[in-house]
Amino acid sequence: MAVGENSSTSEGASNAIGNDPNNALYVHPSDSPGMMLVPAQFDGAGYRSWRRGVMRALSVKNKLGFIDESCVKSNANSSQLRQWQRCDDMVTSWILNSLSKEISDSVEYVNNSVKLWKELEDRYDQTNGAKLYQMQKEINDLTQG
């Protein structure tokens, strides 16, 4: 069963979810797609710091589940599908707004927040293999003297 999904599929159940601040599908009246989650846009440098800030902001808004896949998309015939899509679009917008224009333009057509997050992880959460090897070699060559 999808996150926030009740056995009832009535409109009343859908409205109850939309009014419950503890539910991941709740959108606060002050939330808007134009918001920025972090004070500085990510420009390609300092990815891990930016990532941590975005994750913290999404956690505060109870939307972390949209990027870690714990808030799964409702079934096509669920009354909550539109609410899930609305929230996912909101999270996607927030992340895009937290990126520099150049980076945002390059990922603008990703379908949802999970795919956007994974694309950013694939691109920027890379370690420099050659430098890591060199550092490990220097550590191994150390001797007490």
Residue 126 confidence (pLDDT): 76
Is pTM beyond 0.85? Reply is: no
Could you say which residues of the chain have pLDDT below 50?
1-2, 4-11
Residue 91 confidence (pLDDT): 97
Residue 84 confidence (pLDDT): 93
Is residue 78 one of the residues assigned to a domain? Answer: yes
Is residue 29 one of the residues assigned to a domain? Answer: yes
Long-range contacts of 2-10 (CB under 8 A, 24+ apart): 2/71, 2/72, 2/73, 2/74, 2/75, 2/78, 2/80, 2/84, 3/65, 3/70, 3/71, 3/72, 4/71, 4/80, 5/74, 5/78, 5/80, 9/77, 9/78, 9/79, 10/79
110 CA to centre of own chain: 13
> Residue 39 is part of which domain span?
11-141
Is residue 105 one of the residues assigned to a domain? Answer: yes
Domains in the chain, number? 1
Residue 5 confidence (pLDDT): 44
| Phi and psi, residue 57, nearest 5° | -65, -40
Residue 74 confidence (pLDDT): 79
Is residue 129 one of the residues assigned to a domain? Answer: yes
Residue 130 confidence (pLDDT): 67
